[in-house]
Amino acid sequence: MKRIYILFLLLAIGLSACRTPAKLGADAPADNVPNIIGSYALNGFDPSGEEYGGTLSITAGEKANEYKLQWLITGAVHIGAGSLEGNQLTVTWHSLSETDASLTGSGSYTVTVNGELYGTRSVDGMEKPGTETAYPNPK
């Protein structure tokens, strides 16, 4: 009986740890930013406060410090372009989904020493931005 109790206790502790957001690394120094090209797990809150998840892929752009971005979020695909200055990534984006093809916006993210991204992503026409945090997937 004790074993079952301990097993349930460990399971409960493990499940509660899964809901705790990962602690972000410190902001990267502007002159020593990690490479941001790659795939990320994404967590966010839209401007209305609705939570969502998905993936973010970042590839190299045509010039130095320019990037192409693709968000896959709950059945929607958004693409964008951004530029990195110091540890600040600024982006513009638009939706490719038929149901919300007119959605456009911008975003601003800070890069951490661990290569995480955190910041805001706005939808044009909405008063306040949403927030996003992107965690690099292991390579």
Helix or strand run (H / E) with residue 80:
strand 76-85
Query: Whole-prediction pTM value?
Result: 0.81
pLDDT digits (tens, 9 = 90+) for 60-76: 999 999 999 999 998 79
Question: Going by C-beta distance under 8 Å and a sequence separation of 6 or more, which residues neighbour residue 38?
Answer: 57, 58, 115, 136, 137, 139
Q: Rounded to whole angstroms, how far apart are CA atoms 93 and 112?
A: 22
Predicted local distance difference test score (pLDDT) of residue 8: 35
For 82, half-sphere exposure in the C-beta direction (CA atoms, 13 angstrom radius) is 28
Domains of the chain and CATH, by start: 25-136 (2.40.128.120)
What is the token pair recorded at 69? 């971005």
Indicate if the pLDDT at residue 47 is higher than 60: yes
pLDDT of residue 101: 72
pLDDT score at 128: 94
Q: Is pLDDT of 41 > 60?
A: yes
